[in-house]
Copies of this chain bind each other. A is one copy, B any other.
Amino acid sequence: MASLTSSSQASFLSRPSSNRSSPPLLPTDHHVSLSPRDLPSFSALRASFTRSSSPTLRRSRLLPISAAATDVSLVDTSVNTIRFLAIDAVEKAKSGHPGLPMGCAPMGHILFDEVMQYNPKNPYWFNRDRFILSAGHGCMLQYALLHLAGYDSVREDDLKNFRQWGSRTPGHPENFETPGVEVTTGPLGQGIANAVGLALAEKHLAARFNKPGNEIVDHYTYAILGDGCQMEGIANEACSLAGHWGLGKLIAFYDDNHISIDGDTEIAFTENVETRFQGLGWHVIWVKNGNTGYDEIRAAIKEAKAVKDKPTLIKITTTIGYGSPNKANSYSVHGSALGEKEVDATRKNLGWPYGPFHVPEDVKSHWSRHIPKGAALETEWNAKFADYEKKYPQEAAELKSLITVNLPTGWEKSLPTYTPESPADATRNLSQQCLNALAKVLPGFLGGSADLASSNMTLLKMFGDFQKNAPEERNLRFGVREHSMGAICNGITCHSPGLIPYCATFFVFTDYMRAAIRLSALSQAGVIYVMTHDSIGLGEDGPTHQPIEHVASFRAMPNILMLRPADGTETAGAYKVAVENRKRPSILALSRQKLPHLPGTSVEGVEKGGYVISDNSTGNKPDVILMGTGSELEIAAKAGEKLREEGRAVRVVSLVSWELFDEQSEEYKESVLPSEVSARVSIEAGSTFGWEKMVGSKGKAIGIDSFGASAPADVLYKKFGLTVDAVVAAAKDLC
């Protein structure tokens, strides 16, 4: 029988257990037999760590369980179905991670079969509970559950094509491949941070739209994270924020299986996770028997739901690879197929008489109710919404626009306009004007900075701070937590496509959040990254704070827009592009220093990525083409003037976004950068890496290929040779 936490004592007496005829399951009482915690403690003396696993020891852990009520039998069968779907799919693919699904099948079953509200036939139903498998390598758990629940995205064939080209069941959960998968996980710690974003979105929308008697926004966010996620810094950051924000409807299961890839977690992870989470302001429950203690799990979820002002961590002790007689509770079951022999042994051990990919009829029939149930839930919600719409037509329309991503007609007209006569200003300040203009017209616009709001200029003046007791507000205060900031924004935009999150820090600190930014790009999350202090132009803070290689590094990243606007008009253009691109994140690199508004810049130009801002040549044959981006476009423009004064035909080109320019027609690109003009000079306060593409083999790229230095910005520009004279001299060398 199960060892229970005090919170679940009440339900213990009625706890049913298995009545299956002969499945010799692992014991459930940690007091009388072996749990991971009871096993001999790790000896750290030599590298070749292996879990003690004598046959005697193993055998002693395989006592049968006494039989009881029918529905538990069904739960057992269902749980074993999940286990074997995972085992079989990994076996067929000859790669994958069976260990987690085998250990987490019970909590997975309870969540998807008993607890969560969703509609399998409409994975995008707005008010669904969200489920995030932060330990994404265990994706066969999620695929098995989606399959049983009746999602069309994971049919039997999909399970059989696990990890194959073109399948909907890739090696880690990908939201863009598999409807029903909310976010893209696998890189550890991202999922729990995404879950914080999803829970934040729910709390925010609920606060804005719910009315007394009509809680139109009302769902939970569930996550499963493993030891690996727990070790990652991003998870601690995100969970600190979740505690701070009091995200009471976030319930995270910590799969405490004591095994990571390198073996027992004793070798690297001996902190007290419960204590840490208490420090982070979470409610913490320990389910000691996650393997078969169904009622413990149920009680824990019930308790978690009752705690409204704090997120809950359910630490749930499981056995990785539960059921595998020779591999359970070892790293060998984490990330490899069990192998034919061990699959057979596991079938025998768990009393599973079926062939691969078989779902027993009683399980099939039991789960089949989720299709009508899901439809009913959505219908019920639709009725609720219709009622809401009648009473609150304006709010309903706004909420609808967030669900369906209908940008209000003419929203882009809100963006500020500038002329060359407008006062010079830093693009970070111009960015703030854009942000505040957009916040007025885009109901889904919200965001903030990693403790640099007053430097990044990202505060929305018309709104207050999103806080535990002010969740309707839209300024997010992330603290100095760049990595989780990005991942939380991914979660926000994955919650509802009309939510448009932006987030900000110094451009150089994209290094802290690059994994989250890459996941924005991969998972088609249109987050807007507002990255200020974008070059040595930031001055005295020095090389630790001065980006050099960052623009180049993002130009190399797929499916992301790297925009470096030069003035007010280009900043507005960059925001137009960023807001429109809902399936592709944008990074705006913005200056700390003041910049003039340049003649010739345009929003339309920005939309093309590269365009001519001034030209005194004829017949598409300038003597020289000068190119620049951001703060250096001014230098290029001035150099152009100087060269023209000396009688040259000079074209000046803004290359604000290489990705957008690449997408233009060959004809257009030729009209901007005619191939027969080889005299080309570029200037950009960053690495010249990649500029050969634009300047060609004979051109000259002016930039900085070393680290910066601590000094006032104007001194640095001179010392690093980013000057009008340098451009003029390079141009004269070439033409």
Which residues of A are in contact with B by a Cβ distance under 8 Å? 44-49, 93, 95-96, 136-137, 163-167, 170-172, 174, 184-189, 227-229, 231-237, 240-241, 243-244, 260-262, 265, 267-281, 331, 449, 451-455, 459-461, 463-465, 467-470, 473, 475, 477-484, 508-509, 511-512, 514-515, 518-519, 521-522, 539-545, 548-549, 552-553, 555-559, 675, 687, 689-690, 692-693, 696-697, 705-707, 709-712, 715-716, 719
Q: A689 to B556, Cβ gap below 8 A?
A: yes
Q: Bound complex: CA of A483 vs CA of B136, how far in Å?
A: 20
**Given A228-B451, A558-B707: A271 and B267 interface contact (C-beta under 8 Å):** no
Q: In the complex, A265 Cα to B453 Cα: how many Å?
A: 13
Q: Can you offer 22 A-B residue contacts whose CB atoms are under 8 A?
A: A44-B464, A47-B475, A49-B465, A165-B712, A172-B545, A184-B544, A187-B512, A187-B545, A231-B481, A232-B233, A232-B480, A233-B236, A236-B236, A268-B478, A269-B479, A275-B276, A279-B279, A549-B557, A558-B687, A558-B705, A559-B706, A690-B690
Contact of A171 among B49, B137, B508, B541 (CB under 8 A): B541
**Given A231-B451, A233-B484, A511-B518, A541–B241 Cβ distance below 8 Å?**
no
Given A47-B463, A463-B47, answer yes or no on A268-B710 (Cβ-Cβ < 8 Å).
no
Chain B contacts for A479, CB-based, 8 A:
231, 260, 265, 267-269
Check A267–B465 contact: CB distance below 8 A: yes
Query: With A and B bound together, what is the CA distance between A553 and B461 in angstroms?
Result: 37
Contact A237 B231 (CB under 8 A): yes
Q: How many copies of this chain sit in the oligomeric assembly?
A: 2
Q: Which B residues lie within 8 Å of A549 (CB)?
A: 553, 556-558
- Residues of B within 8 Å of A478, CB to CB, are 268
Least Cβ distance of A65 to chain B in Å? 33
Q: Output the residue of A47, A163, A464 with the most chain B CB within 10 A.
A: A47
A187 contacts which chain B residues (CB < 8 A)?
Answer: 508-509, 511-512, 544-545
- Complex-state Cα separation, A459 to B262, whole angstroms: 10
Contact for A267 among B136, B477, B559, B690, CB less than 8 A: B477
Q: Tell me, in angstroms, the Cα distance from A232 to B417 when the chains sit together.
A: 38
Q: How far is the CB of A549 from chain B (nearest CB, A)?
A: 4
Q: Which of A262, A451, A479, A541 has the most CB of B within 10 A?
A: A262
User: When chains A and B are docked, how far (Å) is the Cα of A166 from the Cα of B718?
Assistant: 13
CB–CB B228/A260 < 8 A: no
For the complex formed, measure the closest distance between the CB of A721 and the CB atoms of chain B, giving whole angstroms.
14
- Shortest distance between the CB of A431 and any CB in chain B (Å): 16
Contacts of A240 in B (CB 8 A): 231, 269, 271
A164-B710, A172-B710 provided; 12 other pairs, C-beta below 8 A? Answer: A45-B470, A96-B540, A171-B710, A186-B545, A260-B451, A261-B452, A261-B454, A262-B449, A267-B467, A511-B518, A556-B687, A558-B706
Beta-carbon nearest neighbor of A506 in chain B: B187
**Are the CB atoms of A544 and B556 closer together than 8 Å?**
no
How far does the alpha carbon of A186 sit from the alpha carbon of B707 in the complex, in Å? 15
The 5 closest A-B pairs by CB, nearest first: A233-B233, A275-B279, A268-B479, A170-B710, A44-B467
Interchain CB contact (< 8 A) of A274 among B262, B279, B689: B279
Q: In the complex, what distance in Å separates the CA atom of A436 from the CA atom of B137?
A: 30
**Other-chain residue from B261, B452, B544 in contact with A136 (beta carbon distance below 8 A):** B544
CA distance A185 to B548 in the complex (A): 17
Chain B hits for A709, CB < 8 A = 165, 170
Q: Which residue of B lies closest to A718 (CB)?
A: B165
Residues of B within 8 A of A171 (CB): 540-542, 545, 710
Q: Which B residues lie within 8 Å of A514 (CB)?
A: 511-512, 514
Most buried by B among A187, A556, A693: A556
A539 → chain B closest CB, angstroms: 7
Minimum CB–CB distance for A543 against chain B, Å: 6
Asked whether, in the complex, the Cβ of B44 is within 8 Å of the Cβ of A540, the reply is: no
Contacts A186-B544, A539-B95, A544-B522 given; indicate if A481 touches B232 (C-beta within 8 A): yes
Question: In the assembled complex, which residues on chain B have CB atoms less than 8 Å from the CB atom of A234?
Answer: 233, 512
Cβ of A465: which chain B residues have Cβ within 8 Å of it? 44-47, 49, 267
* A544 shortest CB reach to chain B, Å: 4
- How far is A481 from B483 in the complex, measured between Cα atoms in Å? 13
- Most chain B beta-carbon neighbours within 10 Å: one of A96, A228, A478, A709: A709
Complex interface: chain B residues within 8 A of A512 (CB): 187, 232, 234, 483, 514-515
Closest chain B residue to A710 by CB distance? Answer: B170
Docked pose: A8 CA to B639 CA in angstroms: 67
CB contacts (< 8 Å) of A711 on chain B: these are: 163-166
Closest to A167 in B: B710
A659 to chain B, nearest CB (A): 10
Please, which residue of chain B has its CB at the minimum distance from the CB of A452?
B261
